[in-house]
């Protein structure tokens, strides 16, 4: 069993006025038609110097900002800041005025006023290149990374061609036409089937019943599938029961994995420790942030995105005897309030939202955001999936004694793409 991590998020935008209930060009309803833009994805985007670093820094800042908004409402926690940012950046292509400004600020991407899509295209291709470099790897299970985007629009509903071209050019997002007006359930199933396929069956039901209806006019979907074996696998026969201390100081027995004497990136900073577990593709890794005994709440409340990035720079190669628990849990998050608290106000306001770069007149707004994720961790590696739907309607060093690190208490974690510094997933484990 690999680490299984799945994520879903719904961002419904609902209409403020009625629209055609069938495709006037064909008179047909209830059909799914693929209509790819005439533009192919730009294979060689040229963002401004420093754009990828700036995008990754903004993504990490957004990850910590969003985490801060949700940490008091959940126990174990997992979410994908990268998938959320990616999906919202597609929606940003259609936003204008203060709506766009607020979204850029909330995502910490203010520097990309007119170049966010270009920067994301370059970042996505840099991440995808890491997978291409692994094609000759033979150890462990084959590495897989799939990042897919798509657009789902109401048949007959007029959408700005420039908006669709921008998504095709920078995100590789094709356009499917469906009939929300007469067959919302059929459209929901079609989108869920696409997500299920793109995540290798890990997210079969991204959009729950009732999340889209006859007023839905557009869905922007993102799916991420990640599968990689650890560079240093934990020996399954060494896994044994051991105590884990919960936040209330009570103890439970958990399956504790063991890794002995491997060289890992490690740092001890103040009242917490960091250790990096690389995958076979060393471009990707899981970083564990382990507060000292009784220090979890203090570290969680004080650790900032800037401090986290600085801490990563202080890590050095050490021999580590590591013990860490297997874990398996899911998170369900209602994200409206967190996003509003981060400054996305007008996009949720039917009177003030401005998505005029998608359609004219301005009649789209965000009505709801739902998020769900699951993760399972074991000795072999990581299998991760993430999906986001934006639903829019009318409105190394000398040998020494190894460091002993036993993770028998609550901790935080992140999965990142090291060459770009992009955080793909973030979460915490307080009860394995």
- DSSP characters for 334-383? E-HHHHHHTT--GGG-TTT---TTTSSS--EEE---EEEEEEEE-SSEEE
Closest CA to 255 of 264, 273, 243: 243
Q: Is residue 61's pLDDT more than 60? A: yes
Residue 335 pLDDT: 81
> What does the pLDDT look like over 202-212, one tens digit per residue?
778 888 898 88
Average pLDDT over all residues of the chain: 84
CATH number (domain holding residue 277): 2.30.39.10
pLDDT of residue 153: 87
pLDDT(234) > 80: yes
Handedness of CA 289, 290, 292, 295 (dihedral sign): positive
Of the two residues 68 and 207, the one the predictor is more confident about is 68
Tokens standing for residue 430: 């307080």
Q: By mean pLDDT, which of 135-144, 265-274, 332-341, 423-432 is the weakest?
A: 135-144
pLDDT tens for each residue of 88-139: 898 899 999 999 999 999 999 999 988 999 999 999 999 988 876 655 444 5
DSSP conformational letter for 401: P
* Domain identity same for 101 and 174: yes
Model pLDDT for residues 305-328, shown as the tens digit of each residue: 999 999 999 999 999 999 999 988
Of 11-15, 121-125, 377-381, 412-416, least confident by mean pLDDT is: 11-15
Q: Would you give the end-to-end CA distance of the chain in angstroms?
A: 16
Phi, psi (5° rounding) for residue 340? -65, -40
Residues 123 and 166 in one domain: yes
Q: Is residue 161 domain-shared with residue 185, that is, in the same domain?
A: yes
Which has the higher per-residue pLDDT, 46 or 377?
Answer: 46
pLDDT in tens, 5-28: 333 444 433 333 222 333 334 444
> Confidence band (pLDDT; 50, 70, 90) for 304?
very high
Mean predicted confidence (pLDDT) in 233-247: 95
Contact 103, 88 (CB under 8 A): yes
What does pTM read for this prediction? 0.87
Residues 8 and 94 in one domain: yes
Q: Are 150 and 37 found together in one domain? A: yes
Q: Encoding tokens for residue 429?
A: 């484990």
Co-location of 323 and 174 in the same domain: no
- The CATH number of the domain where 150 resides is what? 3.30.497.10
Same domain membership, residue 188 and residue 309:
no
Q: Do both 248 and 103 map to the same domain?
A: no
Residue 17, burial from CB neighbour count under 10 angstroms (0-12, 13-18, 19+): exposed
Residues counted in the chain: 432
pLDDT at 192 over 50: yes
**Mean pLDDT across the stretch 147-152?**
85
Q: Do 319 and 257 sit in the same domain of this protein?
A: yes
Same domain for 218 and 193? yes
Name the residue range of residue 292's domain. Answer: 236-327+398-429
The listed range with the strongest mean pLDDT (83-97, 150-164, 262-276, 381-395) is 262-276
CA-CA distance, 263 to 265, in Å (whole number)?
Answer: 7
pLDDT at residue 411, rounded to an integer: 97
Whether 157 and 26 share a structural domain: yes
> Are residues 135 and 276 both part of a single domain?
no
Q: Crossing angle, helix 161-171 and helix 81-92, to 10 degrees? A: 150
Q: What pLDDT does 418 receive? A: 94
User: How many domains does the chain divide into?
Assistant: 2
More confident residue, 256 or 86: 256
């Amino acid at each position: 069993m690999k680490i299984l991590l799945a994520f879903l998020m719904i961002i419904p935008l609902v209409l403020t006025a009625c629209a055609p209930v069938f495709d006037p060009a064909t008179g047909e309803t209830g059909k799914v038609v693929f209509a790819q833009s005439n533009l192919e994805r730009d294979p060689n985007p040229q963002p401004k110097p420093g754009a990828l670093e700036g995008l990754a820094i903004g993504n990490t800042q957004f990850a910590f900002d969003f985490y801060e908004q949700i940490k008091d409402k959940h126990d174990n926690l997992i979410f994908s800041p990268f998938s959320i940012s990616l999906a919202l950046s597609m929606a940003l292509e259609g936003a204008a005025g203060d709506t766009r400004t607020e979204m850029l600020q909330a995502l910490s991407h203010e520097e990309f006023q007119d170049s966010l899509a270009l920067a994301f295209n370059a970042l996505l291709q840099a991440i995808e290149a890491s997978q291409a470099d692994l094609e000759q790897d033979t150890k462990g299970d084959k590495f897989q990374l799939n990042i897919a985007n798509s657009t789902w629009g109401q048949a007959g509903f007029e959408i700005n061609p420039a908006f669709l071209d921008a998504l095709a050019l920078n995100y590789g997002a094709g356009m499917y036409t469906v009939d929300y007006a007469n067959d919302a359930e059929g459209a929901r199933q079609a989108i869920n089937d696409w997500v299920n396929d793109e995540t290798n069956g890990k997210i079969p039901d991204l959009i729950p019943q009732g999340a889209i209806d006859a007023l839905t006019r557009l869905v922007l979907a993102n799916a991420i599938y990640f599968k990689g074996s650890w560079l240093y696998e934990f020996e399954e026969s060494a896994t044994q029961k051991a105590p884990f201390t919960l936040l209330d100081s009570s103890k439970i027995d958990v399956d504790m994995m063991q890794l002995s004497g491997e060289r890992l990136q490690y740092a001890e900073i103040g009242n917490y420790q960091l250790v990096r577990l690389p995958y076979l593709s060393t471009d990707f890794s899981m970083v564990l942030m382990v507060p000292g005994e009784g220090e979890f709440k203090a570290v969680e409340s004080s650790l900032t995105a800037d401090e986290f990035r600085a801490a990563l720079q202080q890590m050095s190669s050490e021999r580590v005897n590591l013990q860490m628990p297997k874990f398996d849990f899911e998170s369900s998050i209602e994200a409206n309030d967190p996003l509003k608290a981060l400054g996305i106000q007008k996009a949720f306001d039917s009177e003030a939202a401005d998505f005029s770069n998608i359609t004219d007149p301005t009649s789209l707004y965000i009505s709801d955001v739902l998020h769900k994720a699951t993760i399972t961790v074991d000795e072999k590696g990581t299998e991760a999936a993430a999906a986001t739907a934006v639903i829019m309607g009318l409105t190394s060093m000398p040998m020494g004694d190894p460091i002993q690190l036993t993770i028998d208490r609550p901790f935080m974690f992140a999965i990142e793409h090291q060459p770009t510094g992009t955080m793909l997933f973030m979460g915490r484990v307080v009860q394995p």
